[in-house]
Amino acid sequence: MRNVTPDNISEVFAGYFGDDTDPRFKEIMSALARHLHEFTREVSLTHDEWRAALKAMEWAGNITTPERNEFVLLSDVLGLSSLVDMINSPDGATSSSVLGPFHVSDAPPMQIGDDMKRHYPGEVLLVQGRVQDLDGNPVPFSKLDIWQTAPNGLYSSQDPEQDIMSFHGLMTADENGYYGFTTVRPVVYTVPTDGPVGSILNAAGRHPWRPSHLHFIIKADGYRDLVTEVFPDDDPYLDQDTVFGVREDLVMCYEQKPSGTFPEGFAISGKVNEAYLAVNFDFKLVAK
């Protein structure tokens, strides 16, 4: 094409697709190119800025590993991950929230009532609830993949001092959709800042902090998978999450419990001699 101009390059790009191109692929790529071209014109992008962006992408690729995905983190801090979650969350179901870059596959099995603390010190937290459908009926035998940071603010894949499966567990709810486990209260932490994401946050004058939370992936036959996280209502970063993951329906309330009141049926029953925290949180799934 000899007559490409700044004004027609988007249309020229769209015209290069073959006749047998998948329509959805053509729609997405045409829109992506159109918005990139418009962005470039809007900010009058310079060669140096363009090269800096390419260098940042190369940097992200170089430091991405199976345990740490800098591209996912970049998507998170730009708000893209949360926007995709929000526009794909069905009405009435528990909201989706970011998966994050530190999920570990093949978590060890965990029975209802098990302790996920892995012998780490910290304030005991009892977590329980039910997996339900949109009408409040139980979703029996749902699979819950659960994980969190350790009390030092690091996920197991970030911390060579932790076992890779530390603070990870895969639980099957009972016939009434009930799940329950104990752990240590999650803590606030910062996203990694030693890569291009950190450079972006610093340049923007943004902090890297996330509110404390528990991660869940919930799967059940006949229902859409749910990837989400839940946050305590007293967290100082609840309204300034650097990855925009908080939703109103994902905020939970810890209840302070005195010592000597721990329920039966849990692995650490009878071993809690101090006050502990408890929370009940129900999840709602939507049918496929």
Q: What is the pTM of this model?
A: 0.91
Indicate whether 119 pLDDT > 90: no
Identify which of 193, 186, 192, 125 has the alpha carbon closest to the alpha carbon of residue 153: 186
Tally of domains in the chain: 2
- Band (10; pLDDT cuts 50, 70, 90): very high
Whether residues 207 and 264 share a domain: the answer is yes
pLDDT at 121: 83
The answer as to whether 53 is a domain residue is: no
Of the listed ranges 76-80, 100-104, 167-171, 235-239, the least confidently predicted one is: 100-104
Whether residues 107 and 182 share a domain: the answer is yes
Cα-based angle 75, 78, 80 (whole degrees, multiple of 5)? 55
The per-residue pLDDT of the chain, averaged, comes to 94
Whether residues 39 and 81 share a domain: the answer is no
Phi and psi torsions of 68, nearest 5°: -145, 120
Contacts of 261 (CB under 8 A, 6+ apart): none
Angle between helices 196-204 and 47-63 in degrees, nearest 10:
130
How far apart (Å, rounded) are the C-alpha atoms in residues 15 and 176?
55
The answer as to whether 60 is a domain residue is: no
Indicate whether 67 pLDDT > 70: yes
Q: Which residue has the higher pLDDT, 2 or 75?
A: 75
Phi and psi torsions of 239, nearest 5°: -105, 15
The first and second tokens of residue 274, run together, are 């101090």
Residue 208 near residue 194 (C-beta atoms within 8 A) = no
- DSSP 3-state assignment of 202? helix
The answer as to whether 194 is a domain residue is: yes
pLDDT, mean of residues 41-47:
98
Phi and psi torsions of 199, nearest 5°: -65, -40
pLDDT, mean of residues 263-282:
86
pLDDT at 118: 65
- Band (117; pLDDT cuts 50, 70, 90): confident
How far apart (Å, rounded) are the C-alpha atoms in residues 157 and 149?
10
Indicate whether 34 pLDDT > 90: yes
pLDDT, mean of residues 59-64:
96
Phi and psi torsions of 183, nearest 5°: -160, -170
- Band (47; pLDDT cuts 50, 70, 90): very high
Whether residues 86 and 216 share a domain: the answer is yes
pLDDT at 184: 94
Whole domain around residue 272: which residue ranges? 74-284
β-pairing, 276-280 with 124-132? Answer: parallel
Contacts of 130 (CB under 8 A, 6+ apart): 138, 173, 176, 177, 178, 179, 282, 283
pLDDT, mean of residues 183-199:
96
Indicate whether 1 pLDDT > 70: no
How far apart (Å, rounded) are the C-alpha atoms in residues 33 and 122?
50
Residue 111 near residue 167 (C-beta atoms within 8 A) = no
The first and second tokens of residue 17, run together, are 């697709």
